A and B are shown apart, each in its own frame.
Chain A
Protein backbone atom coordinates (compact mmCIF):
# COMPACT_ATOMS: atom_id res chain seq x y z
CA UNK A 1 0.00 0.00 0.00
CA UNK A 2 2.82 2.32 1.00
CA UNK A 3 4.72 1.38 -2.14
CA UNK A 4 1.73 2.27 -4.31
CA UNK A 5 1.49 5.68 -2.68
CA UNK A 6 5.19 6.22 -3.19
CA UNK A 7 4.97 5.32 -6.87
CA UNK A 8 2.01 7.68 -7.31
CA UNK A 9 3.92 10.48 -5.64
CA UNK A 10 6.92 9.88 -7.86
CA UNK A 11 4.77 9.80 -10.97
CA UNK A 12 3.12 13.00 -9.91
CA UNK A 13 6.49 14.63 -9.34
CA UNK A 14 7.65 13.52 -12.78
CA UNK A 15 4.47 14.98 -14.27
CA UNK A 16 5.08 18.34 -12.62
CA UNK A 17 8.67 18.37 -13.81
CA UNK A 18 7.50 17.58 -17.33
CA UNK A 19 4.97 20.42 -17.28
CA UNK A 20 7.68 22.83 -16.14
CA UNK A 21 10.09 21.53 -18.80
CA UNK A 22 7.49 21.93 -21.57
CA UNK A 23 6.87 25.46 -20.41
CA UNK A 24 10.58 26.27 -20.41
CA UNK A 25 11.05 24.73 -23.86
CA UNK A 26 8.15 26.76 -25.21
CA UNK A 27 9.52 30.00 -23.76
CA UNK A 28 13.00 29.17 -25.03
CA UNK A 29 11.77 28.24 -28.51
CA UNK A 30 9.79 31.44 -28.78
CA UNK A 31 12.72 33.66 -27.93
CA UNK A 32 15.24 31.72 -30.02
CA UNK A 33 13.30 31.59 -33.25
CA UNK A 34 11.37 34.83 -33.24
CA UNK A 35 11.99 36.64 -36.49
CA UNK A 36 10.35 39.22 -38.65
CA UNK A 37 8.12 38.04 -41.45
CA UNK A 38 5.40 39.41 -43.67
CA UNK A 39 3.36 37.89 -46.44
CA UNK A 40 1.14 39.64 -48.97
CA UNK A 41 -1.03 38.56 -51.85
CA UNK A 42 -0.96 40.61 -55.04
CA UNK A 43 -3.88 40.19 -57.41
CA UNK A 44 -3.97 41.47 -60.96
CA UNK A 45 -7.39 42.69 -61.92
CA UNK A 46 -7.95 44.14 -65.38
CA UNK A 47 -11.20 44.02 -67.32
CA UNK A 48 -11.43 41.17 -69.77
CA UNK A 49 -12.26 42.12 -73.33
CA UNK A 50 -15.82 41.66 -74.51
CA UNK A 51 -16.16 39.28 -77.41
CA UNK A 52 -19.38 40.10 -79.17
CA UNK A 53 -20.67 38.63 -82.39
CA UNK A 54 -24.38 38.97 -83.05
CA UNK A 55 -26.19 36.87 -85.64
CA UNK A 56 -29.75 37.42 -86.75
CA UNK A 57 -32.09 35.22 -88.79
CA UNK A 58 -29.72 32.33 -89.36
CA UNK A 59 -32.10 29.54 -90.36
CA UNK A 60 -34.90 29.34 -92.89
CA UNK A 61 -37.47 26.79 -93.86
CA UNK A 62 -38.60 27.05 -97.43
CA UNK A 63 -41.72 25.15 -98.35
CA UNK A 64 -43.94 25.17 -101.34
CA UNK A 65 -46.63 26.98 -99.43
CA UNK A 66 -44.27 29.93 -99.37
CA UNK A 67 -42.80 29.82 -102.85
CA UNK A 68 -43.78 28.64 -106.26
CA UNK A 69 -41.63 28.11 -109.37
CA UNK A 70 -41.01 31.54 -110.74
CA UNK A 71 -38.73 33.63 -112.91
CA UNK A 72 -38.32 35.94 -109.95
CA UNK A 73 -36.00 34.72 -107.14
CA UNK A 74 -36.94 34.65 -103.48
CA UNK A 75 -34.72 36.77 -101.26
CA UNK A 76 -33.96 36.12 -97.59
CA UNK A 77 -31.70 38.31 -95.52
CA UNK A 78 -29.61 37.85 -92.44
CA UNK A 79 -27.00 39.95 -90.71
CA UNK A 80 -24.01 39.78 -88.43
CA UNK A 81 -22.69 42.56 -86.17
CA UNK A 82 -19.91 43.19 -83.74
CA UNK A 83 -22.17 45.20 -81.45
CA UNK A 84 -25.58 45.28 -79.88
CA UNK A 85 -27.68 47.92 -78.13
CA UNK A 86 -25.39 47.93 -75.11
CA UNK A 87 -21.82 47.30 -76.17
CA UNK A 88 -19.34 46.51 -78.92
CA UNK A 89 -16.78 43.78 -79.24
CA UNK A 90 -13.46 44.89 -77.75
CA UNK A 91 -11.42 42.57 -79.94
CA UNK A 92 -11.00 42.30 -83.69
CA UNK A 93 -12.82 39.30 -85.02
CA UNK A 94 -13.15 37.39 -88.23
CA UNK A 95 -15.81 35.08 -89.54
CA UNK A 96 -16.52 32.72 -92.37
CA UNK A 97 -19.90 31.62 -93.64
CA UNK A 98 -20.97 28.24 -94.90
CA UNK A 99 -24.44 27.16 -95.93
CA UNK A 100 -25.97 23.71 -95.87
CA UNK A 101 -29.31 22.92 -97.43
CA UNK A 102 -31.40 19.85 -97.89
CA UNK A 103 -31.90 18.71 -101.48
CA UNK A 104 -35.61 18.07 -101.66
CA UNK A 105 -36.39 20.90 -104.04
CA UNK A 106 -34.57 21.90 -107.25
CA UNK A 107 -33.38 25.20 -105.80
CA UNK A 108 -30.35 27.27 -106.76
CA UNK A 109 -28.69 29.76 -104.43
CA UNK A 110 -26.69 32.96 -104.61
CA UNK A 111 -25.41 35.03 -101.73
CA UNK A 112 -24.68 38.75 -101.74
CA UNK A 113 -22.87 40.72 -99.06
CA UNK A 114 -23.88 44.28 -98.32
CA UNK A 115 -25.50 44.69 -101.70
CA UNK A 116 -28.94 43.98 -102.97
CA UNK A 117 -29.47 41.39 -105.66
CA UNK A 118 -29.01 42.71 -109.17
CA UNK A 119 -27.46 41.50 -112.34
CA UNK A 120 -24.29 43.44 -111.58
CA UNK A 121 -23.89 42.38 -107.92
CA UNK A 122 -21.31 39.79 -106.87
CA UNK A 123 -22.29 36.32 -105.79
CA UNK A 124 -19.88 35.30 -103.01
CA UNK A 125 -20.64 31.57 -103.12
CA UNK A 126 -17.42 29.93 -104.30
CA UNK A 127 -18.61 26.36 -104.70
CA UNK A 128 -21.76 24.29 -104.49
CA UNK A 129 -21.40 20.58 -103.82
CA UNK A 130 -23.92 17.85 -103.19
CA UNK A 131 -22.53 15.67 -100.45
CA UNK A 132 -23.58 12.32 -99.07
CA UNK A 133 -23.85 12.39 -95.32
CA UNK A 134 -22.65 9.55 -93.12
CA UNK A 135 -26.24 8.53 -92.48
CA UNK A 136 -26.90 8.26 -96.21
CA UNK A 137 -28.85 11.48 -96.69
CA UNK A 138 -27.85 14.00 -99.30
CA UNK A 139 -27.34 17.66 -98.71
CA UNK A 140 -25.98 20.63 -100.59
CA UNK A 141 -22.95 22.44 -99.24
CA UNK A 142 -22.41 26.02 -100.36
CA UNK A 143 -18.88 27.22 -99.71
CA UNK A 144 -17.88 30.84 -99.28
CA UNK A 145 -14.10 31.12 -99.37
CA UNK A 146 -13.83 34.70 -98.20
CA UNK A 147 -13.12 35.47 -94.57
CA UNK A 148 -14.39 38.80 -93.32
CA UNK A 149 -13.01 40.97 -90.53
CA UNK A 150 -14.63 43.30 -88.04
CA UNK A 151 -12.48 45.78 -86.14
CA UNK A 152 -13.05 46.44 -82.47
CA UNK A 153 -12.94 50.21 -82.87
CA UNK A 154 -15.96 50.59 -85.12
CA UNK A 155 -19.54 49.36 -85.12
CA UNK A 156 -19.93 47.02 -88.05
CA UNK A 157 -22.88 45.16 -89.51
CA UNK A 158 -22.73 42.99 -92.61
CA UNK A 159 -26.06 42.30 -94.26
CA UNK A 160 -26.39 39.25 -96.45
CA UNK A 161 -29.00 38.52 -99.05
CA UNK A 162 -29.59 34.90 -99.87
CA UNK A 163 -31.26 34.64 -103.24
CA UNK A 164 -33.15 31.44 -103.91
CA UNK A 165 -34.10 30.47 -107.43
CA UNK A 166 -36.95 28.05 -108.04
CA UNK A 167 -37.06 27.90 -111.85
CA UNK A 168 -40.42 28.26 -113.49
CA UNK A 169 -39.84 25.09 -115.51
CA UNK A 170 -40.92 23.14 -112.43
CA UNK A 171 -44.31 24.78 -112.30
CA UNK A 172 -45.99 21.84 -114.02
CA UNK A 173 -44.35 19.23 -111.84
CA UNK A 174 -46.24 17.71 -108.93
CA UNK A 175 -43.42 15.59 -107.48
CA UNK A 176 -42.34 18.40 -105.13
CA UNK A 177 -45.75 18.72 -103.52
CA UNK A 178 -45.50 18.75 -99.74
CA UNK A 179 -41.72 18.91 -99.68
CA UNK A 180 -39.72 21.34 -97.56
CA UNK A 181 -36.13 22.47 -97.90
CA UNK A 182 -34.19 23.59 -94.89
CA UNK A 183 -31.36 26.09 -95.19
CA UNK A 184 -28.88 26.32 -92.39
CA UNK A 185 -26.35 29.13 -92.29
CA UNK A 186 -23.26 28.49 -90.23
CA UNK A 187 -20.91 31.25 -89.20
CA UNK A 188 -17.60 30.42 -87.62
CA UNK A 189 -16.28 33.48 -85.82
CA UNK A 190 -13.15 33.95 -83.79
CA UNK A 191 -10.89 36.60 -82.38
CA UNK A 192 -8.04 37.73 -84.62
CA UNK A 193 -4.78 36.98 -82.87
CA UNK A 194 -2.08 37.60 -85.46
Chain B
Protein backbone atom coordinates (compact mmCIF):
# COMPACT_ATOMS: atom_id res chain seq x y z
CA UNK B 1 0.00 0.00 0.00
CA UNK B 2 2.84 2.39 0.94
CA UNK B 3 4.45 1.74 -2.42
CA UNK B 4 1.19 2.50 -4.14
CA UNK B 5 0.91 5.81 -2.25
CA UNK B 6 4.45 6.75 -3.21
CA UNK B 7 3.74 5.82 -6.82
CA UNK B 8 0.57 7.85 -6.81
CA UNK B 9 2.33 10.82 -5.27
CA UNK B 10 5.09 10.58 -7.88
CA UNK B 11 2.47 10.45 -10.67
CA UNK B 12 0.71 13.58 -9.38
CA UNK B 13 3.99 15.45 -8.94
CA UNK B 14 5.08 14.44 -12.43
CA UNK B 15 1.75 15.57 -13.82
CA UNK B 16 2.08 19.01 -12.27
CA UNK B 17 5.69 19.32 -13.43
CA UNK B 18 4.62 18.35 -16.95
CA UNK B 19 1.75 20.83 -16.77
CA UNK B 20 4.05 23.63 -15.71
CA UNK B 21 6.70 22.76 -18.29
CA UNK B 22 4.02 22.49 -20.96
CA UNK B 23 2.59 25.83 -20.00
CA UNK B 24 5.97 27.51 -20.15
CA UNK B 25 6.93 25.78 -23.38
CA UNK B 26 3.72 26.87 -25.02
CA UNK B 27 4.35 30.47 -23.95
CA UNK B 28 7.84 30.41 -25.43
CA UNK B 29 6.62 29.04 -28.77
CA UNK B 30 3.86 31.57 -28.79
CA UNK B 31 6.29 34.45 -28.40
CA UNK B 32 8.58 33.03 -31.09
CA UNK B 33 5.74 32.64 -33.56
CA UNK B 34 4.60 36.20 -33.07
CA UNK B 35 8.02 37.72 -32.99
CA UNK B 36 7.86 40.85 -30.91
CA UNK B 37 4.25 41.45 -31.72
CA UNK B 38 2.65 42.89 -28.64
CA UNK B 39 -0.78 41.43 -28.24
CA UNK B 40 -2.62 43.55 -25.71
CA UNK B 41 -5.25 42.26 -23.44
CA UNK B 42 -8.57 43.96 -23.92
CA UNK B 43 -8.76 47.00 -21.68
CA UNK B 44 -11.41 47.28 -19.02
CA UNK B 45 -11.64 50.66 -17.41
CA UNK B 46 -14.65 52.12 -15.65
CA UNK B 47 -14.91 55.58 -14.19
CA UNK B 48 -17.77 56.89 -12.16
CA UNK B 49 -17.96 60.65 -11.72
CA UNK B 50 -14.33 60.77 -12.83
CA UNK B 51 -13.20 58.26 -10.21
CA UNK B 52 -11.61 55.05 -11.41
CA UNK B 53 -13.74 52.20 -10.08
CA UNK B 54 -12.22 49.49 -12.26
CA UNK B 55 -11.06 47.63 -9.18
CA UNK B 56 -14.14 48.56 -7.12
CA UNK B 57 -14.33 51.71 -5.12
CA UNK B 58 -16.94 53.05 -2.73
CA UNK B 59 -18.11 56.58 -3.40
CA UNK B 60 -19.93 59.07 -1.21
CA UNK B 61 -22.02 61.77 -2.81
CA UNK B 62 -22.72 64.74 -0.60
CA UNK B 63 -23.13 67.68 -2.98
CA UNK B 64 -26.84 67.34 -3.58
CA UNK B 65 -29.04 70.42 -3.59
CA UNK B 66 -32.38 69.48 -2.13
CA UNK B 67 -35.48 71.48 -2.91
CA UNK B 68 -37.80 72.20 -0.06
CA UNK B 69 -39.32 75.63 0.26
CA UNK B 70 -39.81 75.05 3.97
CA UNK B 71 -36.27 74.02 4.82
CA UNK B 72 -32.72 75.22 4.55
CA UNK B 73 -31.19 74.29 1.17
CA UNK B 74 -28.04 72.60 2.44
CA UNK B 75 -29.88 69.94 4.42
CA UNK B 76 -32.43 67.24 3.73
CA UNK B 77 -35.73 66.90 5.55
CA UNK B 78 -39.13 65.27 5.10
CA UNK B 79 -40.64 66.59 1.87
CA UNK B 80 -37.27 67.31 0.25
CA UNK B 81 -36.64 66.37 -3.36
CA UNK B 82 -33.12 66.25 -4.76
CA UNK B 83 -31.13 65.06 -7.73
CA UNK B 84 -27.69 63.69 -8.17
CA UNK B 85 -25.78 62.85 -11.33
CA UNK B 86 -23.63 59.85 -12.08
CA UNK B 87 -21.43 59.78 -15.14
CA UNK B 88 -20.46 56.28 -16.17
CA UNK B 89 -17.38 56.38 -18.35
CA UNK B 90 -16.34 53.17 -20.13
CA UNK B 91 -14.52 54.92 -22.95
CA UNK B 92 -11.22 53.12 -22.28
CA UNK B 93 -12.84 49.70 -22.39
CA UNK B 94 -12.44 47.30 -25.30
CA UNK B 95 -15.31 44.97 -24.47
CA UNK B 96 -19.06 45.30 -24.35
CA UNK B 97 -20.31 45.62 -20.78
CA UNK B 98 -23.46 45.01 -18.83
CA UNK B 99 -24.08 47.45 -16.02
CA UNK B 100 -26.59 47.08 -13.21
CA UNK B 101 -27.75 49.76 -10.82
CA UNK B 102 -29.34 48.45 -7.62
CA UNK B 103 -30.97 50.94 -5.29
CA UNK B 104 -31.34 50.44 -1.57
CA UNK B 105 -34.00 52.96 -0.55
CA UNK B 106 -36.85 53.45 1.94
CA UNK B 107 -39.17 51.16 -0.01
CA UNK B 108 -36.92 48.19 0.56
CA UNK B 109 -34.99 49.08 3.70
CA UNK B 110 -36.46 50.51 6.92
CA UNK B 111 -33.11 52.04 7.75
CA UNK B 112 -33.16 54.30 4.71
CA UNK B 113 -34.96 57.64 4.52
CA UNK B 114 -35.00 58.54 0.84
CA UNK B 115 -37.03 56.95 -1.93
CA UNK B 116 -36.17 56.79 -5.60
CA UNK B 117 -38.52 59.09 -7.48
CA UNK B 118 -37.12 58.62 -10.97
CA UNK B 119 -34.03 57.59 -12.87
CA UNK B 120 -33.08 58.84 -16.29
CA UNK B 121 -30.18 57.77 -18.45
CA UNK B 122 -28.99 60.03 -21.26
CA UNK B 123 -32.19 62.02 -20.90
CA UNK B 124 -34.56 59.08 -21.11
CA UNK B 125 -36.57 57.92 -18.14
CA UNK B 126 -35.98 54.29 -17.26
CA UNK B 127 -38.14 51.83 -15.40
CA UNK B 128 -36.72 50.07 -12.36
CA UNK B 129 -37.67 46.47 -11.69
CA UNK B 130 -37.35 45.57 -8.03
CA UNK B 131 -35.26 48.72 -7.59
CA UNK B 132 -32.81 47.53 -10.23
CA UNK B 133 -31.91 48.56 -13.73
CA UNK B 134 -29.62 46.69 -16.11
CA UNK B 135 -28.41 47.72 -19.52
CA UNK B 136 -25.84 46.52 -22.01
CA UNK B 137 -23.38 48.97 -23.49
CA UNK B 138 -22.46 47.43 -26.83
CA UNK B 139 -19.00 47.79 -28.22
CA UNK B 140 -20.05 50.47 -30.72
CA UNK B 141 -21.31 52.66 -27.85
CA UNK B 142 -18.56 51.89 -25.37
CA UNK B 143 -16.92 55.27 -25.87
CA UNK B 144 -20.05 57.18 -24.92
CA UNK B 145 -20.26 58.44 -21.38
CA UNK B 146 -23.58 57.56 -19.78
CA UNK B 147 -25.27 60.34 -17.85
CA UNK B 148 -27.43 58.95 -15.09
CA UNK B 149 -29.70 61.33 -13.18
CA UNK B 150 -31.28 60.00 -10.02
CA UNK B 151 -34.11 61.92 -8.38
CA UNK B 152 -34.80 61.09 -4.76
CA UNK B 153 -37.46 62.19 -2.32
CA UNK B 154 -37.94 62.06 1.42
CA UNK B 155 -41.57 61.06 1.64
CA UNK B 156 -42.98 62.31 4.91
CA UNK B 157 -44.15 59.52 7.11
CA UNK B 158 -45.27 60.11 10.67
CA UNK B 159 -43.91 56.76 11.75
CA UNK B 160 -40.44 57.62 10.49
CA UNK B 161 -40.45 61.34 11.21
CA UNK B 162 -41.09 60.81 14.89
CA UNK B 163 -38.18 58.44 15.31
CA UNK B 164 -34.62 59.31 16.14
CA UNK B 165 -33.17 59.77 12.68
CA UNK B 166 -29.51 60.04 13.59
CA UNK B 167 -28.84 56.36 12.99
CA UNK B 168 -30.74 56.20 9.72
CA UNK B 169 -29.04 56.50 6.37
CA UNK B 170 -30.37 58.34 3.34
CA UNK B 171 -29.98 55.98 0.39
CA UNK B 172 -27.31 53.86 -1.23
CA UNK B 173 -26.87 52.19 -4.56
CA UNK B 174 -24.67 49.54 -6.02
CA UNK B 175 -23.17 49.73 -9.48
CA UNK B 176 -22.00 46.51 -11.04
CA UNK B 177 -20.22 46.65 -14.38
CA UNK B 178 -19.06 43.46 -16.02
CA UNK B 179 -17.92 42.25 -19.36
CA UNK B 180 -20.86 41.21 -21.48
CA UNK B 181 -20.28 37.73 -22.84
CA UNK B 182 -23.51 37.51 -24.79
Contacts and interface: CB of A to CB of B under 8 A. Distances in A.
A40 to B, nearest CB: 4
Contact of A43 (B11, B61, B161, B165): B61
A126 to B, nearest CB: 26
B137 interface: no
Contact of A39 (B12, B79, B174): B174
A interface bracket (residues with beta carbon within 8 Å of B): 20 to 34
Contacts, number: 140
Contact of A12 (B8, B61, B177): B8
A169 interface: no
Interface residues of B, number: 59
A81 interface: no
Most buried by A among B5, B8, B71: B71
Interface string B102-133: 00000000000110000000000000000000
Contacts of A38: 44, 46, 53-56, 176-178
Nearest to B112: A44
A37 B177 contact: yes
A44 B53 CA distance: 17
Interface of A: 8-9, 12-13, 15-16, 19-20, 35-51, 90-92, 152-153, 191-193
